[in-house]
Amino acid sequence: MSVPVEATPIPTVAPEEPAVARGIVKTLRSGVGQGGMLLALLLGVLFFQITTGGIMLRSLNVTNVFLQNGYILVMALGMLLIIVIGHIDLSVGSVAGFLGAVVAVLIVGVDVPGLGHIQTDPILAVLITLIAGGLIGGFQGWWVAYLRVPSFIVTLAGMLLFRGATLFMLGGQPVGPFPESFRAISAGFIPEAIGSIPDPFGPKDIVLANLTNLPVFGDLKLVLPLGGDSLQLTTLVLGALLCAFIVFLGWRSRREQVKYGFRVPSVRQFWIRNALVILGIMFIAYRLAGYKGLPIVALVAFLLIGLYMFVTMRTVIGRRIYAVGGNSKAAMLSGVNSKLMVFLSFVNMGVLAALGGIIIAARLNSATPKAGYGFELSVIAATFVGGASAYGGVGTVAGTVIGALFFGLLNIGMGIMSIQIDYQFMVQALVLLVAVYFDVRGKSRDA
């Protein structure tokens, strides 16, 4: 009796793609696997560029993304460490508002019985405010780390406490205005040290595509704005230096991973990925250079981003924070002082909340009783959207920056489209919900 033999299917070979195309596809797939926020950011830019008739990418609006959302970038870095280590801080908005009031009162001055009206130098006022932020963060971190009160409760109490303290300090009235030297923190631009040149492209727009008879939107076109009157060379040089720094760190990290036998992307993928990053950075630098150059608040944010990348990727304390967030008990058994790491994370958050409050006060040219309302939602949302895990132990500085820029893009884009504020809140809520859903889904798959 013969036994039937199954026919072996003949494998088919797909046509080979060009090497560069394969590298781009793999890079995009890798990005999507890590959350896809960079792709989402690019799609968001494309959407608003089309729906605003080419206005979104003009130099003024690119500059406004940093001017109006610098505080989110700064405070999101602190929130990243809080979330990575497995906690949450609901008080950052109220703390920022309170410390903005502190710096305002110090600069504008107070009447002290027997001493008269006392004013503080802006630099000294900023230093005092940053120290006060560290003390506030330490106060809340002490409750969380050493008294083991849940961070949700501690920071919820802090939200109410410092909101009331802001109203008390300001007496229900705005305090301002401030000297120009202080306002420059948020509204100033770095001095042009090299000079400016005429824009080689000239003031013109390039129409890439015409879209007609679209549902809801009607006729639209994709416009790439190029050129202006002149370019600030210092901004372009700083953008090029930033690109070189990122490539250097990436190549050094890749070389160490290869040394210890880790699996790394190919050289082709590495350079394609970095070419895309360089293209994005230099385009932003080009748009900033076409207005007034690099805003001071953006320079502060970029310096902090570089610092926190170094801390999280290259230092012992950074690795310990991730270890505590991933598995606190295992970290303690390995000799890590988990309580101290939690405490220091809250101190850091307090300092960055103080800096955020200073930036907002400088931008508004006054401290108001309502300053800081809703800040915690934007900061927490930007961190989660950037890929930080609600379970702790996961999150990157680069992802947080992308999340903050994404929310800045939403705010500017919807503002240009004249979308009402109630709808803006709804869109931000849906974006946050979807981001956390993918995080939870990814955890479920891993389990």
Instruction: Tell me the domains of the chain and their CATH numbers.
Output: 35-188+295-435 (1.10.3470)
Q: What is the pLDDT of residues 419-436, one digit of tens each?
A: 888 788 888 788 778 767
Residues 6 or more apart in contact with residue 251 via CB below 8 angstroms: 270
Mean pLDDT, residues 304-314 = 88
Q: Which residue is listed with tokens 């590495």? A: 270
Taking alpha carbons only, the member of 271, 290, 289, 268 closest to residue 279 is 271
Q: Is 393 helix (H, G, I), strand (E, B) or coil?
A: coil
Do residues 339 and 145 make contact, with C-beta atoms less than 8 angstroms apart? Answer: yes
pLDDT of residue 215: 55
Q: How far apart are CA 370 and CA 175, in angstroms?
A: 12
What is the sign of the dihedral through the CA atoms of 57, 59, 62 and 65? negative
- What distance in Å separates the CA atoms of residue 108 and residue 177, rounded to the nearest whole number? 7
Per-residue pLDDT for 9 more than 70?
no
Interatomic CA distance for residues 344 and 334, integer angstroms: 19
pLDDT value at 20 more than 50: no
Tens digits of residue pLDDT in 153-203: 999 999 999 999 999 888 888 887 888 888 888 888 888 888 877 777 666
Mean pLDDT of the chain: 80
Six token digits for residue 86: 């497995």
Q: How far apart are CA 166 and CA 151, in angstroms?
A: 22
Task: Answer whether 104's CB lies under 8 Å from 361's CB.
Answer: yes
For residues 414 and 427, is the Cβ–Cβ distance under 8 A? yes
Report field, pTM of the whole predicted structure over 0.85: no
pLDDT band for position 281 (cuts 50, 70, 90):
confident
Predicted local distance difference test score (pLDDT) of residue 12: 42
With cut-offs at 50, 70 and 90, classify the pLDDT of residue 101. Answer: very high
What are 209's strand-pairing partners? 222
pLDDT-based confidence at residue 341 (cuts at 50, 70, 90): very high
Q: Which residues of 346-371 are buried (b: 16+ CB within 10 A; e: fewer)?
A: bbbbbbbbbbbbbbbbbbbbbbbbeb
